[in-house]
Structure 1
Amino acid sequence: MTCKTYTILAAGGSAALLIGAYLFQFAGYPPCQMCYWQRWPHFAAVAIGAIALYFGAKALTWLGALAAATTSGIGIYHTGVERGWWEGPTSCTGGGDLLSGDLLSTDGPRLVMCDQVSWEFLTLSMASWNAIFSAVLMVLWIKAALSAR
């Protein structure tokens, strides 16, 4: 395959994961703080892909690989927080100090906890699936970069 094909697949994969995340959100699975962190590198990867394709800047494919690696790493970190392997941010985990007062009222915004799994498939959470799919996208970005030579 060509650099262009790999770039389309990789950037398109990030776009598909973002669409999936928003569909889950629309279906009633609001994201936690760490879920949002996982989205930003996907947005970057889509933009990098568009710029690389439009301007023919094949060197940008390494940045796409970095973006995919970043979101995969955040997904691994989030999975560890969900499974209790390590501590997560105090602002969105069970030990957080923000769980008092008005935050528990039903009138205000809902605080989504980062250490709680809201959906899983084959015993893997959305964060775990993001880590896996993003690692695959990273490989596609690397293949794009290597095929650009």
Structure 2
Amino acid sequence: MLNRIPTNFIPWIVLAASMATLSGAYFFQYGLGYVPCHLCLQERIPYIFAIGAALIAGILSREANLGIAPVVFIGLCALAFAIGSGLSGYHAGVEYKWWAGPATCTGGGLLSNSLQDLQAQLQGGTHAPRCDSAAWSLFGISLAGFNLLISLALCILSSLPVLRYFREAQGERV
């Protein structure tokens, strides 16, 4: 099935999926009120990077002959998603208590403009989110777990043009 996806479409698919995933994270944060923890915020960085790299790869791959430049940029997307998979896997493991999380396992939920606002938040029971407890889950999979699955899928998809490019280059040498 993956061989049926045209190589010059892959950057656009990666771009759309990255934007949709990041939009989902912002929807959970601003629409549903789930304040992200420190690890959640770090997991967004690969998507932000991939949006730019996939856009450049998509623009450069308008021609039928891809060349090396779009392959490099989509390869950078694959690297970003590999790192994102590692971050998400680490975060999911922390949530499922497979290993300990970082000592600074809190988010930025207690930021205030004045001392009075901060004091009111503290008295109101507002707590910064913890990295070691899943704020939301579906079928026993937390948001970090879903992020791991999405990152892995996008890493595989982003790797296809790179693998195809090197396969074609080896075939020309033989």
TM-score, with length taken from structure 2: 0.74
Give secondary structure in 1 for the equivalent of 2:99. Answer: coil
The corresponding residue for 2:78 is 65
* CA distance in structure 2 between the aligned counterparts of 1:16 and 1:144, rounded to whole angstroms: 21
Residue correspondence of structure 1 range 1-149 to structure 2 within 5 A: 1-26=5-30, 27-56=32-61, 57-58=69-70, 59-92=72-105, 105-106=122-123, 110-148=127-165, 149=168
* CA distance in structure 2 between the aligned counterparts of 1:71 and 1:142, rounded to whole angstroms: 14
Cα 1:113–1:5, aligned 2, differ >3 Å: closer, same or farther? same
1:81 alignment partner AA:
V
The alpha-carbon deviation at position 36 of structure 1 amounts to 0.5
Range moving further from structure 2, 31-40 or 55-64: 55-64
* CA distance in structure 2 between the aligned counterparts of 1:42 and 1:118, rounded to whole angstroms: 21
Cα 1:62–1:106, aligned 2, differ >3 Å: closer, same or farther? farther
Any unmatched runs of 5+ in structure 2?
A: 62-68, 107-118, 169-174
The corresponding residue for 2:66 is none
The corresponding residue for 1:96 is none
Any unmatched runs of 5+ in structure 1?
A: 94-101
Give secondary structure in 2 for the equivalent of 1:105. Answer: helix
Cα 1:18–1:106, aligned 2, differ >3 Å: closer, same or farther? farther
Give secondary structure in 1 for the equivalent of 2:129. Answer: coil
1:22 alignment partner AA:
Y
1:128 alignment partner AA:
G
* CA distance in structure 2 between the aligned counterparts of 1:82 and 1:142, rounded to whole angstroms: 29
Does the CA-based 8 Å contact 1:72-1:131 persist in structure 2? Answer: yes
Cα 1:42–1:106, aligned 2, differ >3 Å: closer, same or farther? farther
1:67 alignment partner AA:
A
